[in-house]
């Protein structure tokens, strides 16, 4: 059990990978792949419906002699889920789809019929224009009018987008100006508060020259704390005993 989980295998010293015989299969060998049905189909043998997305164990091979601008075309073989009849389909790179080939028919798909109807209408219109010059002139006039209407609608959309863009830029500019005004007001208010604090500090604390008894000592200043009111006390009453 543990031997199959090891990461390193033992290779003897005289191991030579070139001596291993290589299996050479046929050039166009079939491969067993797991796939889902690319479209809903009905078996031609028993009438069983096979829905899109049903999983099969299929055989895949490359179609010989067929390609689309160098793109290989592959063929797939599956079996019906009811009668085990063989069903084949192959890739269709031209239409980026798959094409039913043998054993089953593709179910009705309305968008495919719609595309085919549009192609038939276009061919009928071209044939009618070739046989009737007046009809061709009428069709060209109708097409020109339709193009003019489309261009007018496109011009209106562009003008509306430009107007909305100008309004958006104006709104952004106004918002930026409002933010700058708010910042300026905040700076002025902060500066005013700082000035008031400085004024209050100057009113509370003051420095006076010291009246020392020694004459040879340099003049000194003494910091005096005052009361924050209109009545100013005497200087000697605020000084300490040593300063007095």
Residue with tokens 């300026």: 184
User: Is 226 in contact with 204 (CB distance < 8 Å)?
Assistant: yes
Q: Residue 53: which of 16, 120, 98 has the closest Cα?
A: 98
Write b or e for each residue in 130-160: b if 16 or more Cβ atoms lie within 10 A of its Cβ, otherwise e: eeeeeeeeeeeeeeeeeeeeeeeeeeeeeee
The helix (H) or strand (E) run that includes residue 63 is strand 55-68
Residues 6+ apart with CB under 8 A from 209: 219, 220, 221, 222
Q: How far apart are CA 42 and CA 97, in angstroms?
A: 18
Q: How far apart are CA 6 and CA 3, in angstroms?
A: 6
Q: How far apart are CA 180 and CA 227, in angstroms?
A: 40
Query: Which amino acids are annotated as binding site for Zn(2+), given as ranges?
Result: 43, 46, 80, 83
Q: How far apart are CA 31 and CA 57, in angstroms?
A: 10
């Amino acid at each position: 059990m543990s031997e199959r989980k090891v990461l390193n295998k033992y290779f003897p010293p005289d191991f030579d990978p070139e001596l291993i015989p290589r299996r050479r299969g046929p050039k166009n060998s079939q491969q067993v792949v797991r796939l889902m049905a690319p479209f809903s189909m009905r078996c031609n043998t028993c009438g069983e419906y096979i829905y899109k997305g049903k999983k099969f164990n299929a055989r895949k091979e490359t179609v010989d002699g067929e390609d689309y601008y160098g793109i290989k075309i592959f063929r797939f073989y599956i079996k019906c889920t009811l009668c085990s009849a063989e069903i084949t389909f192959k890739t269709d790179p031209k239409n980026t789809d798959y094409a039913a080939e043998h054993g089953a028919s593709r179910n009705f798909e309305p968008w495919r019929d719609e595309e085919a109807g549009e192609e038939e209408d276009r061919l009928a219109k071209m044939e009618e224009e070739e046989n009737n010059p007046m009809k061709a002139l009428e069709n060209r006039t109708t097409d020109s009018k339709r193009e003019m209407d489309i261009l007018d609608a496109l011009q209106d959309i562009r003008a509306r987008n430009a107007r909305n863009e100008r309004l958006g830029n104006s709104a952004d500019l106004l918002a930026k100006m409002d933010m700058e005004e708010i910042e300026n007001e905040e700076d002025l208010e902060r500066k005013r508060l700082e000035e008031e604090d400085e004024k209050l500090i100057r009113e509370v604390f003051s420095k006076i020259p010291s009246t020392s008894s020694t004459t040879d000592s340099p003049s000194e200043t003494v910091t005096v704390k005052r009361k924050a009111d209109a009545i100013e006390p005497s200087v000697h009453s605020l000084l300490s005993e040593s300063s007095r």
